[in-house]
Structure 1
Amino acid sequence: MSQLQRLCVLGLLLLAIYTLPAHAQQLKVSGTVLRPDKKTPLAGAGVIRLSTSTGTLTDEAGRFTLLVKPNDSILVRAVGFRPVVYQVKPELGTTQQLLFVLQEEVQQIREVEVSTAPLLVKRPEEQLKPAIKPPPPVPARPPTLVFNPVSYFSKEGKQRRKLRKYLTKEEEKRQRQEVERLLQEQEEAKQNYNRFFKDNTGYQ
């Protein structure tokens, strides 16, 4: 055997010696993930190797296969279920069969109280006051009757005096009604404005 052949054989032996422990440390883990009834498989569950953050997903039958190292930790989780962590046993040269049953994660929902109380708005420091309609223009006063001494004591003069008194009373009555109407509108506007405020002093 030539020297070159000896070197090749020696190199192959050294390579086999260094690679054999690495292959021997790999473990094949297989298993099934089930729902809480222990009968229904859980598809799409994640099986993750925590040391490398690599993993796989379960198939439709809930089965999975993963290569790990001894004493590695496996995380099994799924949406809506409590996660499970499992530490691999150092059994070299064998395929470990595992079975995981995930329990549903119950989330408590807080009760919500519905109140029918009216919404009270605190009055700001500066608030626009409701606009009050300006009073309508006062119509022109009735024409003043010209005094005529000749016809003052006549029948026509008496009728004119009665007419003038009547027109004067009607004008005073109309003005009083107009003032009362304006005061009533102002009071209603004040009440409508204050009902939105807690202290009821919004409109001054």
Structure 2
Amino acid sequence: MKLYYAPGVCSMAAHIVAVEAGLTLDLVKVDIRSEPHRVEDGRDLKAVSAKGVVPVLELDNGEILTEGVAILLYLADKKPDAMLTPEQGSFEHYRLQEWLTFISSELHKTFSPWLFHPEYGAQAAEVAKERLRQRFDILEAHLATQDYLVGGRFSIADAYCFTIMNWSRGLRIDLGAWPNLTRYLFEIAERPGVRMTLVAEGLRK
């Protein structure tokens, strides 16, 4: 399988899940700062996926899968013994879907694009930051009694949450007011699979 990715962006969640599951991926780097986005061999990413954004997962049979949450679920289902999702049909599996939706709609799409495009203006950025603070409060309350988001163990939701929340560092968002969230992110960052991913993407020595 090939994962079309860019270092540190949302595709990193899929990279983390693959490493945690023991799956082998061929990593294909994409320059998301170019327009159109260029694959490392010079192709337009739209030659791989019409959406033209990462992550893109190319299966060994040539099938193309896009959208981060779909890719996370697919990779987890490839290695059920890794237990990166709760059992199908269990209530915890719906909790997983709940958190994946929250991360996608309330965190991911508030960070991006609003805090990565200064041309949108300072007012838009401040509105986005205030919205994020309210979402951080939700995570903080949950993590006061839980080590992970779902089922008492690391899951694909944690890989996704860590990836998005890691953007706080580059954006200089101080998480000091959320100690449980800060502890959670530190502990996720120290997982061997996450460390390996960060090193592979050039984000950690």
Q: TM-score range by the shorter chain?
A: under 0.3
Q: Which has the higher contact order (CA 8 A, sep 6+)?
A: 2
The structure that is strand-richer by fraction is 1
The structure that is helix-richer by fraction is 2
Q: What TM-score does the superposition give when structure 2 sets the normalisation length?
A: 0.19
Q: What TM-score does the superposition give when structure 1 sets the normalisation length?
A: 0.19
